[in-house]
Amino acid sequence: MKKVFVFLAGILLFTSCEKDPDMSELDSDFTVYTQYDEAANFASASTYYLPDSILTTGSGMKAVYWKDDNAQSLLAQVASEMALRGYVRTEEKAEADLGLQLTYVESTTQVSGWVGGSGWGWDSWWYPGFWGPYYGMGWSYGFPVSYSYSTGSMVMEMVDLRNTPADTTEQVQLPVIWQAVSSGLLSGNAHLNLTLVGRAIDQAFTQSSYIKKD
Amino acid sequence: MLALGIPFVARAQHFPDELNFKLDWQVNAPVGYDYADKLSGWGMNFEVAYEVSERWSLGAFASIHTNHGYAGRETIQLSPTEALTTDQLHSAFQVPFGALASFDLAYTPHLRPYVAGKIGAMYEQNTTYLNTVGFYERPWGLYVSPEIGLNIYPQRYGRFGFHVAVYYSYATNDTRLLNYQEDGKNSVGFRLGICF
């Protein structure tokens, strides 16, 4: 029996000996993931609306609007990227072909199982009705999504505002045609974190060359 | 390694002379592909064999090894509509085990060179780490490995000695993680240890 025990202990020792890698070898830049709806026509759009704030998600999934100088610098960067691609920013949502919404996740947040629905997720922050009275049917993603956001994630979503119903009482889904998720570990230095988020925004547009006006 | 070795060393005097053990530290380098391809010494090997004739031994083996690798930041096209920009840390943990046959090339008071062949299965856990998440696969495959080595006995015809060996191995494990694909795994390495 003792021999069997020693043998099993040896087997356990064998199977528990994986050497973990040194995670500090990874650079500090955010991971940037983008996807888009292949049916979307980015080239035919000419105007877009960008709110003057970034939504942040703190504890309890409660929406907080981030509007200080740091937020404005990130929004200005997004506006600059859109201008480089030929789009004109409008002051009125009703005049915009596209809409852009930015959400900064401050803590681990997981949202799943609400694709195309009108669940509890983004609805309580960037609620579809923000973009017009027609979008009472929730969100409509042209691609599969699942959400698991960790500390330090910036989410950019582009919505198509062109196919609004003539009847303003009609309720339709708001189509999300582009999504960029950037995530990484945050440092204790706010300036460095802002730099990392800014670089992630730049990378999101760099790898989305299809966002371009004719 | 020490914790595993002591019980066997302590009991070795009760085993028949035909039964031999090897316990080694191992250095392994994957060859022919670029996933977790850095040479490392994070491994060990254990063998037990029985002398079925003057020169032939049959037995069993098991070993473990971890190799790592780093891939710099790049943009990966995951699908026609999806792109991911990231750097990656790779970790490949392999556990081959199975049967062995060994043939002594010579039998001298202090040296016993041999050639051996091993065949069995290999469990592998390949993990790709990004900055906040990790992806892994755990494939199984067939494992074969030729080996040439030398047992060195400080005492004439002694039971306790030192062991050195070099080996090549091939396993059929397949893995696909992000933009890296492994269709079979080739490795070379050497072992330093004790035999008793």
Quote the mean pLDDT of chain B.
Answer: 90
- pLDDT tens by residue, A116-127: 333 334 544 567
pLDDT exceeds cutoff 90 at B62 = yes
Residues from chain B that touch A203, judged by Cβ atoms under 8 A, are 85
Q: Residue B145: CB partners within 8 Å, gap ≥ 6? A: B96, B117, B118, B119, B167, B168, B169, B170
Domain ranges of chain B: 23-74+83-195
CATH number for the domain running over B23-74+83-195:
2.40.160.20
Question: Is the CB of residue B70 less than 8 Å from the CB of residue B90?
Answer: yes
CATH number at residue A34: 3.30.160.670
pLDDT (mean) for B22-43:
92
Burial of B155 (0-12, 13-18, 19+ CB in 10 A): exposed
Amino acid sitting at position A167:
D
Amino acid sitting at position A47:
T
As a whole number of angstroms, the distance between CA B34 and CA A204 comes to: 27
Which residues sit opposite A47 in a β-bridge? Answer: A88
Share of chain B above pLDDT 70, in %: 93
Higher-pLDDT residue of A106, A47: A47
pLDDT exceeds cutoff 50 at A212 = yes
As a whole number of angstroms, the distance between CA A59 and CA A68 comes to: 20
DSSP state of A161: -
Share of chain A above pLDDT 90, in %: 41
pLDDT (mean) for A165-184:
86
pLDDT exceeds cutoff 70 at B83 = yes
Residues from chain B that touch A30, judged by Cβ atoms under 8 A, are 131
Please give the ipTM for the structure prediction: 0.77
Residues from chain A that touch B39, judged by Cβ atoms under 8 A, are none
Residue A38 lies in domain: 27-206
pLDDT exceeds cutoff 50 at B123 = yes
Q: Residue A61: CB partners within 8 Å, gap ≥ 6? A: A109, A120, A124
The verdict on residue A35 lying in a domain is yes
Q: Of A177, A207, A209, A211, which to mutate for an interface test with B (greatest number of B Cβ within 10 Å)?
A: A207
Residue A213 φ then ψ, to 5°: -80, 145
- Listed range (A114-123, A134-143, A171-180, B51-60) with the worst mean pLDDT: A114-123
pLDDT exceeds cutoff 50 at A95 = yes
- pLDDT tens by residue, A38-72: 999 999 999 999 999 998 876 565 678 888 999 99
The verdict on residue A184 lying in a domain is yes
- Is B35 an 8 Å CB contact of chain A? no
The verdict on residue A197 lying in a domain is yes
Higher-pLDDT residue of B190, B7: B190
Question: Is the CB of residue B146 less than 8 Å from the CB of residue B168?
Answer: yes
Domain count, chain A: 1
The verdict on residue A47 lying in a domain is yes
As a whole number of angstroms, the distance between CA A46 and CA A97 comes to: 7
The verdict on residue A20 lying in a domain is no
Higher-pLDDT residue of A64, A80: A80
Question: Is the CB of residue B49 less than 8 Å from the CB of residue B20?
Answer: yes
| Helices A2-15 & B2-11 angle (0-180, nearest 10) | 150
Q: How far is CA B188 from CA A36, B38, B191, in A?
A: 44, 12, 10
pLDDT (mean) for A150-175:
83
As a whole number of angstroms, the distance between CA A99 and CA B10 comes to: 74
Q: Pseudo-torsion of CA A31, A32, A37, A42, nearest 10°? A: 180
Higher-pLDDT residue of A152, B72: B72
Residue B12 φ then ψ, to 5°: -60, -35
Instruction: Give pLDDT, residue A151.
Output: 64
Burial of A174 (0-12, 13-18, 19+ CB in 10 A): buried
The DSSP-derived string for A21-67 is P-GGGS-SSPEEEEEE-TT--STT--EEE--SSEEEE-GGG-EEEE-
Instruction: Give pLDDT, residue A59.
Output: 57
- pLDDT tens by residue, B128-168: 998 878 888 999 999 999 999 999 999 998 889 999 999 99
Vertex A187: Cα angle to A184 and A192 (nearest 5): 90
As a whole number of angstroms, the distance between CA B153 and CA B196 comes to: 9
Chain B, residues 92-151, CB within 8 A of chain A, namely: 93, 95, 125, 129-133
Most confident range, picked from A88-97, B6-15, B130-139: A88-97
- Is A60 an 8 Å CB contact of chain B? no
Instruction: State how far residue B74 is from chain A, nearest Cα, in angstroms.
Output: 10
